[in-house]
Amino acid sequence: MSDIQEATNQLLDVNLHENQRSIQMTESGPGSESEHLQVTIGATVPTGFEQTAADEVREKLRSSCKISKDRGKIYFDISVESLAQVHCLRSVDNLFVVVQEFKDYQFKETKEEVLKDFEELAGKLSWSDPLKVWKINTNFKKKKTKHKKINQNSSKEKIDNGQGDKRDEKDVKKEFTNNALDSHILDYYEKPAIKEEISTLVGDDLASCKDETDESSKEETSPEVLKFRVTCNRAGEKHCFSSNEAARDFGGAVQDYFKWKADMTNFDVEVLLNIHNNEIIVGIALTEESLHRRNITHFGPTTLRSTLAYGMLRLCAPQPTDIIVDPMCGTGAIPIEDSSISPVHHPSFYLTVECLGKRKSCEALCSWMRGATEWANCFHIAGDNNPLAVNRAANNISSLLTKSQTKGKLSCGLPIDAIQWDICNLPLRTGSVDIIVTDMPFGKRMGSKKRNWNLYPACLWEMSRVCRPRTGRAALLTQDKKCFTKALSGMGHVWQKVHTVWVNIGGLHAAVYLLKRTPQAFVHPSEQDGGRTPW
Amino acid sequence: MKLLTHNFLSSHVKGVGPRGFPLRLQASEVRIMPVEFNPDFVARMIPKLSLGEVPTEPIQGYEQNEDFLRTMHHILLEVEVMEGTLQCPESGRVFPITRGIPNMLLSDEQTEA
C-alpha cells in the first residue's frame, strides 16, 4: 500500500513541481505503455487577464501560451499526463481540447456553400486524439464525484504495472526532492478524493493503449453511443450565416460521422465551434459551462470571481514576505473547497479583509482563500463585518485544520486567521500592508450607487493608510467606475493609477484598477488643518 | 487568532491613533497548532513586526540563529488565541475574541470621523 502510494507520489512529484524541475514527464522510460499524447488545450479566462493566466500556465505546466488577446482565451500544448494539473489552474474558467485550428478559413460566398463546407469539415478532422483526452478527462471528473473504491484498486494495479518503467525517473527525481515542499504536495494528494483521481488519471493514461475495455470506464459509459451537442460562438461582421445554422449543420455531420445522439441538455461530449472573423477553432469541452469546474461539491457558482480574484492577486506580483490585504465581497455560501497547499513560490503574509456592506457571506472569503493558497506558507487573515460570514469562516478554518490533523502530518497547519472588521476603519497599523486586493461593492445587488459615493473615498482613504508607502500596491475591482474614478481623483497624493483591466462579469462591465501607493507617508486628518472629509 | 496577526492589529478607536498599538491581549483559551517551519519566512517577517523598544544588538545575526527563529515561529504562528479579549491601551475599549476570531467592529460613536 505504502509502496504504491510512494510511487504515485513520486510520479506526481514530477508533475507538480513547477519551479524546481525542468524534466518533462514525456521523457519516461523506454517502451512505455502510454502514448505520451501531446495536445493543445484552450482555456477561457476573464477578459483582460490573458497574460496573467499565461504566466500561471508557464509556471505550473512549463508550457508557453498563445494568447487570444482581449477575447479571453489562451492556448497551450501539454502532454496528456499533465491534465490533472491543468484542472488545478486557478486563473482559468473553462477548458477545452483543440481538435483543429484554422487561422485563415476561406468562407465561400453563399450561406448554402458555407454550411455545406461545415458539414464536410466534420468528417475531415482528426478526432481520435482529442477524444482520447476527453475520455481521460471524463473519467477523471467522474471519479471525483463518485469516489469509487473499485477504481482505486484497479488504478493501483496499473501504477504497479507502470512502476517498472518509471523507476528510473523516480530515482532521478529523488535527488531534487525538497522535503518541505514534498510534504505539501503529499498532503494535497493524500486527500482521499484527490488521490483516487490522480492515480486513476495517471493509471488510465498508462493503460490507454492497452485496450478500451478498461473496466472502470466501461461500467459508466458505453463508448459507442455518446450524447453530444455542438456549441457555436460566432463573432465577425462578414459572415453570411448564423451561429445556430453553423451549429446545426456541423452537428448534423458530427452525428452522422460518429453515430452519436444529439442532446442539447444531457450530453456527454460538447463540441465547440468558435468562429472569430476568419479564425475557426474546433474543440471538445473538458469542463462544463454551467457548473464551474471548482464546484465539485455542493456550492453555487462563483466562476469568474475566484479566477478573477486570483488574476488580480497575480497582477500585484506578490514578493517574498509581502503582506497582503485582500478584501472580497460576495453573496452565497461556499465552503472552502480544498485546503490544498501548493508548492510555495514566495512566503507571504496575507490579510484578507472582507467587509464592505452589511449583507456579507463567506463566499468571496473562501474563494479568495482558494486563490490565495497558491502562495503557500502564507499567512491569511480573512475579515468580514458580518457575523454570519465570520462564523462561517471560523467553521471552515476549523474544519480545514481538523482535516490536516487527522492526516497526522504537521505541514498543513493553515496560516489563516479571521477577523471581524470594517474596511472603512481597519484595525491595522499604518503602513503595514504591502498589497491590497479588493472587490468593491458594485452598487447593484449590494449597497447602492449613492452609498458608494461615500464608501469609495472612505475605503480608498483607509486603504492608503494601511498600505505601505512607495512599494505598496492595490488591485481594486469595481463596476462603479465613475464613482471610483472620482474618488481616486482626490487622492493623487497617495494613490497612482498604474493600469486598468476591463473585465466582464456576468454581463456587467467592470474594471480592475491597479494602483501604486506613492512614497508619501500617510498623514492623519487630525494633523492637517481642519481635517479632511470625503467630499 | 495568531500572535503574528496580533502584531498588525492596532486600535482604531476615535482619537487614539498610533497609541492604539499594541492591543492588550488576554487569552482565556489558547491552542497550539503545528505549522511547517520556514526559517526564511520567519527571518524576513521579523523586520516587519513592530516589536517596541527592543535593543538592536542582540538581534543582529538572528537570521542564522535557528533556535531563535524556531522560537519566533512557534510564538508567531503556532500559538492561537481561541477565546479572550483585546483591549485598546489608550481608550480601554475591549474587543472580544470568540472561536479564534476577534471582533473589531466599533459602534458608530467610536469610529474616526
Residues 75-104 of B with CB under 8 A from A: 77-78, 95, 99-104
A182 touches chain B (CB under 8 A): no
A426, closest residue in chain B (CA to CA): B12
For residue A361, which phi and psi values (nearest 5 degrees)? -145, -175
Give the pLDDT score at A326: 65
Give the pLDDT score at A397: 62
Query: Does the A35-145+225-292 domain belong in CATH 3.30.420.40?
Result: no
Give the pLDDT score at A2: 46
Cα dihedral A331, A463, A422, A528 sign: negative
Beta-strand pair A38-44/A323-325 = unpaired
Beta strands in A103-164 (DSSP E): none
Spatial distance between the Cα atoms of B71 and B73, rounded to a whole number of angstroms: 5
Tens-digit pLDDT profile for residues A136-175: 888 877 766 554 344 344 444 443 443 334 433 343 333 3
Give the pLDDT score at A96: 92
- Label residue A116 left, alpha or beta by phi (over 0 means left) and psi (-120 to 50 means alpha): alpha
Query: Given pLDDT bands bounded at 50, 70 and 90, which one contains residue B24?
Result: very high
Give the pLDDT score at A312: 83
| Pick from B2, B64, B68, B82: nearest CA to B34 | B2
For residue A90, which phi and psi values (nearest 5 degrees)? -95, -20
Spatial distance between the Cα atoms of A167 and A63, rounded to a whole number of angstroms: 25
A390 touches chain B (CB under 8 A): yes
Residues 362-381 of A with CB under 8 A from B: 377, 379, 381
Assess whether pLDDT exceeds 80 at residue B28. yes
Minimal C-alpha gap between B12 and chain A (Å): 5
Minimal C-alpha gap between B47 and chain A (Å): 10
At the topology level, CATH places domain A294-343+375-525 in: Rossmann fold (3.40.50)
Q: What's the order of all strands across the beta sheet hosting A473-478?
A: A416-419, A380-383, A349-353, A323-325, A435-439, A473-478, A508-517, A495-505
Tens-digit pLDDT profile for residues B73-87: 899 888 989 999 999
Which helix (H) or strand (E) segment is A350 a member of? strand A349-353
Spatial contact of A316 and A475, defined as CB atoms under 8 Å apart: yes
A109: which DSSP letter? S
Residues 15-74 of B with CB under 8 A from A: 15, 17-18, 21, 33-36, 38, 40-41, 44-45, 48, 50
Architecture of domain B3-54+61-104: Single Sheet (2.20)
Beta-strand pair B79-87/A495-505 = unpaired
Of B5, B34, B95, the CB nearest to A417: B5
Give the pLDDT score at A376: 52
Spatial contact of A384 and A360, defined as CB atoms under 8 Å apart: yes
For residue A83, which phi and psi values (nearest 5 degrees)? -55, -35
Give the pLDDT score at A99: 92
Q: Do B34 and A410 touch (CB under 8 A)?
A: yes
Q: Do B36 and A411 touch (CB under 8 A)?
A: yes
Chain CA centroid to CA A444, Å: 26
Spatial contact of A118 and A250, defined as CB atoms under 8 Å apart: yes
B82, closest residue in chain A (CA to CA): A394
Within chain A, all domains assigned CATH 3.40.50.150 are found at 294-343+375-525
Spatial contact of A328 and A352, defined as CB atoms under 8 Å apart: yes
Residue A70 is placed in which grid cell?
482581449
Spatial distance between the Cα atoms of A25 and A12, rounded to a whole number of angstroms: 10
Spatial distance between the Cα atoms of A441 and A480, rounded to a whole number of angstroms: 8
Spatial distance between the Cα atoms of A409 and A185, rounded to a whole number of angstroms: 12
Half-sphere exposure of A191 (CA within 13 A, CB side): 17
Beta-strand pair A416-419/A473-478 = unpaired
Give the pLDDT score at A279: 87
Q: Profile chain A (535 residues) by mean pLDDT over runs of 10 residues.
A: 44 38 38 64 86 88 79 87 84 88 88 89 89 86 55 40 39 36 37 38 34 40 75 85 90 90 88 88 81 32 58 81 61 24 29 32 45 54 67 64 52 63 85 82 59 84 91 88 91 93 78 93 65 44
Spatial distance between the Cα atoms of A287 and A488, rounded to a whole number of angstroms: 39
ipTM field: 0.89
Minimal C-alpha gap between B73 and chain A (Å): 12
Higher-pLDDT residue of B13, A341: B13
Residues 6+ apart with CB under 8 A from A1: none
Q: Do A432 and B35 touch (CB under 8 A)?
A: no
